[in-house]
Amino acid sequence: MAISGGDIQQAKALLTSGRLVAIPTETVYGLAGNAFNSEAVATIFEVKNRPSFNPLITHVDSLDKARGYVATVHPLAQRLADTFWPGPLTLLLPKTDAVPDIVTAGSERVAVRVPQHSLTLSLLEQLDFPLAAPSANPFGYISPTTAAHVAQQLGNKLEYILDGGICPVGIESTIVGIEEDVVRVYRWGGVSLEDLKSVVPNVQAPINPDEESPPAPGMLKSHYAPTKQVVVGNLPELIQQYQHADVGVVSFRDVFPQIPDKQHVILSESGNLNEAAQRLFSALRELDQLPIELILAEFVPNHGLGRAINDRLARASA
């Protein structure tokens, strides 16, 4: 069973020897291995039961470190990195041969991010290789936002969990690529459309990916899902429709007194989208562990981090 703690040197030793460690970031906990070690990366796919066609994000402590394995950095990518790193933004950049194809699922672009978490940044500064690190959960399930979540899901497959507390953002990073001087969003996450447009002039929304070869992580139609069925829509109507079923409810800010308190999670009573994002995965996980039949949820206002929340809800219910 995995040990949890804050020992960076123990994490470094394990990673350097080709083994895996769960690491905290501001978004979610990652299942990390040496991105230059094909065997370590293959173990990530094995532990998560993740399909090999789904690429991984690499993590470094600086853009300068990333230049060791990316071929070029477009001026727009440079501007985004200068603004949002460290932070919840991932850039798709042309890779060099230093990056094994298993990391990118054969793509010529590698996903790169500098996480905004002091413990993991300290670890990355001491490594001479980037860390490939998808979320530290079984593939397709709810992403972990605490060390305890990781232990519950993968604790018997890991030696060490670097415990950095609760992830303050709570949903994954936004992923973008640069295409003919246009910033293309591949996945909504912790950096909003409004944030991006404040820095770069031309931003285009996500495209529908090829399910058999997605160009970036987190783009599969069904993802981030609990074991219970999730139904998203108008909550008053859904509660009425399923009144004879034993349900859990995830609401944005409204209270539904007909639902027992332990089966009702409010993401933000004040209507704060940042708070709602931080609580989303924990809410789904909490309800998934109850003896209920299904989970009812509603979309939140579709601006700011609301786009990322709605993206995760849509994939959870797919």
Q: Where in the chain is the domain with CATH 3.90.870.10?
A: 3-72+83-173
What pLDDT shows up at residue 32? 98
Q: Where in the chain is the domain with CATH 3.40.50.11030?
A: 229-316
Closest CA relative to residue 300, chosen from 253, 258, 256, 238: 253
Residue partners of 128: CB distance under 8 A and separation at least 6: none
The SS3 call for residue 313 is: helix
> Does the pLDDT value for residue 21 go beyond 70?
yes
User: What are the φ and ψ backbone dihedral angles of 222, each rounded to 5 degrees?
Assistant: -105, 120
Can you give the pTM of this predicted structure? Answer: 0.92
**High-pLDDT (> 70) share of the chain, %:** 94
Closest CA relative to residue 154, chosen from 4, 306, 313, 305: 4
> Does the pLDDT value for residue 216 go beyond 90?
no
CATH of 229-316, one of 3.40.50.920, 1.10.3720.10, 3.40.50.11030, 3.30.980.20: 3.40.50.11030
Mean pLDDT score of the chain: 93
Residue partners of 278: CB distance under 8 A and separation at least 6: 145, 166, 167, 168, 169, 170
pLDDT tens figures, 80-118: 999 999 999 999 999 999 999 999 999 999 999 999 999
Alpha-carbon distances of 233 from 4, 137, 169, 241, 317, rounded to whole Å:
38, 27, 24, 11, 10
The secondary element (H helix, E strand) that includes residue 274 is helix 273-288
> Does the pLDDT value for residue 211 go beyond 70?
no
Lowest-pLDDT range of 171-175, 213-217, 286-290: 213-217
> Does the pLDDT value for residue 47 go beyond 90?
yes
Instruction: Quote the Cα angle for 131-209-280, to 5°.
Output: 65
> Does the pLDDT value for residue 223 go beyond 80?
no
What pLDDT shows up at residue 318? 82
What pLDDT shows up at residue 217? 64
Instruction: Give me the CATH topology for the region 3-72+83-173.
Output: DHBP synthase (3.90.870)
> Does the pLDDT value for residue 219 go beyond 60?
no
